[in-house]
Amino acid sequence: MQEALRSRQGHMDQLNAQYADFAITTRQAGANVPEPMQHRIDKLNVDWLKVQQMSTNLRPTSGDDSVFTEGEQSVIIYDRGNQ
């Protein structure tokens, strides 16, 4: 699970770097970043933070690292590889 999160963190870092470059270029051109785009990036980062925080509350239920519990619920994690 932690390995999957680290992999996804790389994607988030890349997306945020690309967005930062876009925002700089847009401002240099004398324009503003479109509000819907800013809101989507903000929401994505907030949601990602929630995923990271929730993952700290998960713990393996068996020797299989793909089954975790949170409270009284079991959560099965499927790693789909690099998508």
Alpha carbons 53 and 49: distance in angstroms, whole number: 6
With H, G, I as helix, E, B as strand and everything else as coil, classify residue 49.
Answer: helix
- Tell me the domain boundaries of the chain: 2-76
70 bridge partner residues? 73
> For residue 40, which of 21, 17, 16 has the smallest C-alpha distance?
16
Alpha carbons 45 and 51: distance in angstroms, whole number: 10
Residue 75 has pLDDT above 60, yes or no: no
**Cβ-contact 16, 45 below 8 angstroms:** yes
pTM: 0.64
Q: What pLDDT does 5 receive?
A: 83
pLDDT classification of 22: cutoffs 50, 70, 90: very high
Residue 57 has pLDDT above 50, yes or no: yes
